Chain A
Amino acid sequence: DIQMTQSPSSLSASVGDRVTITCRASQGISNSLAWYQQKPGKAPKLLLYAASRLESGVPSRFSGSGSGTDYTLTINSLQPEDFATYYCQQYYNTPPLTFGGGTKVEIK
């Protein structure tokens, strides 16, 4: 199984900050990566897929990049509604689909 490791596990940031979250796969996943946002008590929401493709309706301040084993989610100009937990998920080698452990973005 491909293991997904996210870092950091949590971070504190202020409104307007630029935030970067990293996801590392245990082997190359050829951009077969999705990012999700989850708010407390709510279902996850798809933000990006294929590492860098923005899902319809997602604000353009969210972006993704990377290749091989290392991928990044960037939030430019953090907004109050962006405080949440973010997960990466690989779909290169399945089953199983595997998720990262999550990164909680908190208000500084």
Chain B
Amino acid sequence: EVLLVESGGGLVQPGGSLRLSCAASGFTFSSYWMHWVRQAPGKGLVWVSRINSDGSSTTYADSVKGRFTISRDNAKNTLYLQMNSLRVEDTAVYYCASMGYCGGDCYLDYWGQGTLVTVSS
């Protein structure tokens, strides 16, 4: 069974930092591209970032570029999102998701349960 479990969310002040983790199991993590998607309270889904299978290629939404860094440790089957210079508007539930085996960006077939990040003074 594929399982993605996020952790690391919490309350942080504006300008602060947080690192999210996503522990993967039940599939060959090192073979799959991974994404972070967020959802502000009561709002829709917004794509945040993507990393390819070996970590050599990453992409970001304009809203987080230069502030967030996606990375992975394939030996630990874990995906990360380092979030710096956090803003109130970054408040959201953050989901990690695995991508279908497509050879390029495509659909997201498995999702974690999400971790809530609240940015507030």
Binding site for B on A (CB under 8 A): 32, 34, 36, 38, 42-46, 49, 55, 87, 89, 91, 94-102
Contact = CB atoms under 8 A, between A and B. Distances in A.
A101 B44 CA distance: 6
Interface residues of B, number: 25
Contact of B44 (A32, A96, A97, A102): A102
Contact of A34 (B95, B107, B110, B113): B107
Given A43-B114, A44-B45, A97-B35, A91 B95 contact: no
Majority DSSP secondary structure for residues of A touching B: loop
A44 B44 contact: no
19 contacts: A34-B108, A43-B95, A43-B111, A44-B37, A46-B108, A46-B110, A49-B100, A49-B109, A91-B104, A91-B105, A94-B59, A94-B104, A95-B59, A95-B61, A95-B105, A96-B62, A97-B108, A99-B45, A100-B44
A34 B110 CA distance: 13
A91 B107 contact: yes
